[in-house]
Chain A
Amino acid sequence: MRPRNVLLVLAAASLGAAALAAPLAAPRAVNDIAVSQTPLPGKLSDFGFFADPLRQFPSSGVTAYRLNTPLYSDGAEKLRFLYLPEGTSAGSDGEGLLVLPVGAALIKTFAFGEGDDRRLIETRVLLHRADGWTALPYRWNDAQTEATLAIAGGRVNLTTPEGEAISYRVPNKNQCKECHGVGGEVIPIGPKARNLSTAWLQGMVTSGHLDRVPSGSDKLPVWEHRSDAEAASVARAYLDVNCAHCHRPGATASNSGLDLRWEQDDPQALGIGKRPVAAGRGSGGLLFDVVPGKSGESILAHRMKSLEPGVAMPELGKSTVDKDGVAAVEQWIREMPSR
């Protein structure tokens, strides 16, 4: 047995002893071995991210956050958390992703329903390990007492806040990577400084969890306050957050040539006057991705409004149309000057 394995066994043994001694079965401190070593933890409780899982009260070292403009997931309420191991902190890198140390984790729970009727559906975790990030989906049981690893994903029948009865899709492990992959590596998508509030970042600095408030933070509009922002800013933020993890160089939809990142300013790359490449029937008989002034002639809007596999965008995690998102993108296209 190699020395590292001996250490692992010892560590596991001591953890087991600690668990036996504790009054509750679920550990209240985060289990760093589960985060950074265990190949595929079978249960969400193995990590100990939550002091009260049902209420989603985080354990020590786990901090809740929100994004200014969030990714739409059939109207799910999303509870986002960042875990930093004791003694570590995040670094800033301009407006981009926070630099998170090995041993850190991002946790996102998807819930439907209000108040006492709220049901936790799934929790997705991104674990920063020595060999890179690992993405795993966990599905909550009916009793809401535990979420178990759903390596092959699954489907859950539920009703959205809009009242639509849908078959909600829990992604499989590969599908996690389809959105989180760039250049073959899994990376986080959400916690970019430009999409985080300055107040939250300042709080992280004050608590010693972040080196400084990054320059370029808090640039994306806050979605609920989008009526106060410019249409282009709202739409570009929406496309960045909802589409650009695939539609960017090196990612799943790179071969389309469409690059919807916030920082992209080439009109062709953004789809303006760009012909479809591999859209197939997704084009809906339209000639260009974006036709300035004409949202009804723009493939981008057409595919956002579809629910049909092979046409619908995004391809994954979508069982309903995001009406607000469509409205934001359509307004941007309508107000776009002709070229």
Chain B
Amino acid sequence: MIKLNLACGTAVMLLAWAPYVQAKDVAIAAGEGAQMRLQEALIMAEPGDTLVLDAGKFVLSDGLSLDVDGVTIRGAGMDRTVLDFTGQMDAGEGLLVTSDGVTLRDFALENPKGDGIKSKGADNIVYHRVRVTWTGGPSASNGAYGIYPVESTNVLIDGVKVSGASDAGIYVGQSSKITVRNSIAEANVAGIEIENSRDALVENNMAVRNTGGILVFDLPNLPVMGGGNVILRRNLVVDNDTANFAPPGNIVASIRRGTGILVMANDGVLIEDNVLSNNPTAHVMVIAYTQPYEDERYNPFARNVVVGENAFGRGGDDPQMGGAEMLVAAFGGALPPVMWDGVSQGDTGLTVSEGVTGWSLNLAKPGQDPATGQPAPLDVPQPGYSFDTASVGAPAELEARLTS
């Protein structure tokens, strides 16, 4: 049964200034008929409503979707309210959100057949303390993305946890004004991926035991390109040594096991104050787009990438690349923390803070065979490019929803 818990008159008066004066809570219990009851509540919700999911396991047969603005879905906690998609028969994701101003918090999805939560064209969205888990651990048969906002403006992802995604745990695509923080991405192919997106802040996250920890990409032939203005700071990027289990054909299938942070074809990426340890291929890799493409609008170069001060632990000691043994031997047992392909567009190439060491393949152009490179210690200028911290991240008003 759907219970309507209307706020009392006093509360309504107090909240009269709020945009949704008739907002109500709708409680939904786990158990028999969860699919129909939950989906019906999602459809019948009105702007401002909160769907309160009780603790328990909601066994679902089909994907869910929300298309009403300003709705909150709130569970009893990411370990207490579980949407179980193990028996899912239909749809490409567990939960699809296509409306603006939505808040998703304090619940979990397990074993969605495709993606976990996809929010498409859903502006001003907050994901808070949501968990997406493929419970069988890394497997190519797991779904692709755990948390998947795309084509959206103003995205706040805070305190989420994703593991087992066969592509990216937290994937933000073709979006702008993004914050991903305080989250854990564990045992995915890519932990956190910012793709074809602008103005992203990725901070205070843990990316552990993925194939690659944090990726910043721009890809061709997409409606939205020109990714950049991204800051990655104060993240723990550790032990990313899981063998790549992505199905071939996807871009992340090319990620080398043991990659900490990878920047490919972007404009303006700052990497600083992170802790990187035990990433056996490279702590930081900066490269141009490697594949052939046909798209005049696309820029394949990594431009204005800045590696500031970071804490680099052990790493680069088992690189997954051709000639690894010779390279490791040449560098005295482990590659230095920053790997660059050497490909730059004019003078917009990689810069690093004083004391940051690395090596370069010294390639001349995008797509050049790495085997034809001339590996040598990194020799690049110190940063002159400046980042405007205020220009990255989700707007402050999204934060207010975390405390409400």
Whether the pair A280, B43 counts as a contact (CB closer than 8 A) is: no
**Does B115 have its Cβ within 8 Å of any Cβ on chain A?**
yes
Point out the residues of chain B lying under 8 angstroms from A316, CB to CB. 90-91
Whether the pair B250, A280 counts as a contact (CB closer than 8 A) is: yes
Point out the residues of chain B lying under 8 angstroms from A318, CB to CB. 90
When the two chains form the complex, which single residue of B40, B67, B114, B120 contacts A280, counting CB atoms closer than 8 Å?
A: B114
**Does B22 have its Cβ within 8 Å of any Cβ on chain A?**
no
**Does A31 have its Cβ within 8 Å of any Cβ on chain B?**
no
Given contacts A174-B66, A255-B120, contact A277 B249 (CB under 8 A): no
Residue of A nearest to B222 (CB): A257
Interface positions, chain B 127-144, Cβ under 8 Å from A, are 140-144
Whether the pair B223, A154 counts as a contact (CB closer than 8 A) is: no
Whether the pair B249, A279 counts as a contact (CB closer than 8 A) is: yes
Residue of B nearest to A184 (CB): B121
Point out the residues of chain A lying under 8 angstroms from B43, CB to CB. 151-152, 172-174
CB distance from A336 to the nearest CB of B (A): 17
Residue of B nearest to A249 (CB): B223
CB distance from A12 to the nearest CB of B (A): 22
How many A-B pairs have beta carbons closer than 8 Å: the answer is 138
Whether the pair A299, B91 counts as a contact (CB closer than 8 A) is: no
Point out the residues of chain A lying under 8 angstroms from B336, CB to CB. none
When the two chains form the complex, which single residue of B65, B166, B248 contacts A287, counting CB atoms closer than 8 Å?
A: B248
Given contacts A169-B90, A279-B144, A280-B166, contact A255 B39 (CB under 8 A): no
Whether the pair A299, B249 counts as a contact (CB closer than 8 A) is: yes
**Does A52 have its Cβ within 8 Å of any Cβ on chain B?**
no
CB distance from A233 to the nearest CB of B (A): 25
Given contacts A255-B222, A280-B115, A310-B143, contact A152 B150 (CB under 8 A): no
When the two chains form the complex, which single residue of A152, A254, A280 contacts B247, counting CB atoms closer than 8 Å?
A: A280
CB distance from A309 to the nearest CB of B (A): 4
**Does A278 have its Cβ within 8 Å of any Cβ on chain B?**
yes
Residue of B nearest to A285 (CB): B248
- Cα distance A167–B98 when bound, in Å? 26
Q: Mark A251-290, 1 if CB is under 8 A from B, else 0.
A: 0101101000000000010000111111111111111100
- Cα distance A274–B222 when bound, in Å? 10
Whether the pair B143, A153 counts as a contact (CB closer than 8 A) is: no
When the two chains form the complex, which single residue of B63, B67, B115 contacts A177, counting CB atoms closer than 8 Å?
A: B67
When the two chains form the complex, which single residue of B89, B224, B247 contacts A169, counting CB atoms closer than 8 Å?
A: B89
Interface positions, chain A 293-312, Cβ under 8 Å from B, are 299, 308-310
Residue of A nearest to B67 (CB): A174
Whether the pair B151, A255 counts as a contact (CB closer than 8 A) is: yes
- Cα distance A299–B247 when bound, in Å? 12
Whether the pair A172, B91 counts as a contact (CB closer than 8 A) is: no
Point out the residues of chain B lying under 8 angstroms from A310, CB to CB. 92, 112-115, 143-144
Whether the pair B90, A315 counts as a contact (CB closer than 8 A) is: yes
- The CB with the most chain A CB atoms within 10 A, among B42, B92, B113, B294, is that of B92
Point out the residues of chain A lying under 8 angstroms from B115, CB to CB. 278, 280, 310
**Does A118 have its Cβ within 8 Å of any Cβ on chain B?**
no
**Does A175 have its Cβ within 8 Å of any Cβ on chain B?**
yes
- The CB with the most chain B CB atoms within 10 A, among A154, A273, A278, A287, is that of A278
**Does B251 have its Cβ within 8 Å of any Cβ on chain A?**
yes
Whether the pair A175, B114 counts as a contact (CB closer than 8 A) is: no
Given contacts A178-B65, A255-B120, A257-B221, contact A284 B151 (CB under 8 A): no
Whether the pair A278, B151 counts as a contact (CB closer than 8 A) is: no
When the two chains form the complex, which single residue of B92, B145, B247 contacts A309, counting CB atoms closer than 8 Å?
A: B92
Q: Mark B61-100, 1 if CB is under 8 A from A, else 0.
A: 1110111000000000000000000001111100010100
Residue of B nearest to A302 (CB): B249
When the two chains form the complex, which single residue of B61, B63, B90, B141 contacts A281, counting CB atoms closer than 8 Å?
A: B141
Q: Mark B141-163, 1 if CB is under 8 A from A, else 0.
A: 11111001011000000000000
- Cα distance A184–B120 when bound, in Å? 11
Whether the pair A315, B92 counts as a contact (CB closer than 8 A) is: yes
CB distance from A272 to the nearest CB of B (A): 10
Residue of B nearest to A256 (CB): B222
- Cα distance A184–B89 when bound, in Å? 26
Point out the residues of chain B lying under 8 angstroms from A254, CB to CB. 151, 223
**Does B295 have its Cβ within 8 Å of any Cβ on chain A?**
yes
**Does B44 have its Cβ within 8 Å of any Cβ on chain A?**
yes
Q: Mark A137-177, 1 if CB is under 8 A from B, else 0.
A: 00000000000000111110000000000010100111101
**Does B103 have its Cβ within 8 Å of any Cβ on chain A?**
no
Given contacts A172-B65, A249-B223, contact A308 B113 (CB under 8 A): yes
CB distance from A319 to the nearest CB of B (A): 8
Q: Mark B93-125, 1 if CB is under 8 A from A, else 0.
A: 000101000000000000011110000110000
The 3 closest A-B pairs by CB, nearest first: A280-B144, A310-B114, A283-B249
Q: Residues on A close to B: CB < 8 A?
A: 151-155, 167, 169, 172-175, 177-178, 181, 184, 249, 252, 254-255, 257, 268, 273-288, 299, 308-310, 315-316, 318-319
21 contacts between A and B (CB under 8 A): A154-B36, A174-B43, A177-B67, A254-B223, A255-B120, A275-B221, A275-B251, A277-B173, A278-B173, A280-B115, A280-B144, A280-B250, A281-B247, A285-B247, A286-B248, A309-B88, A309-B91, A309-B113, A310-B113, A310-B115, A316-B91
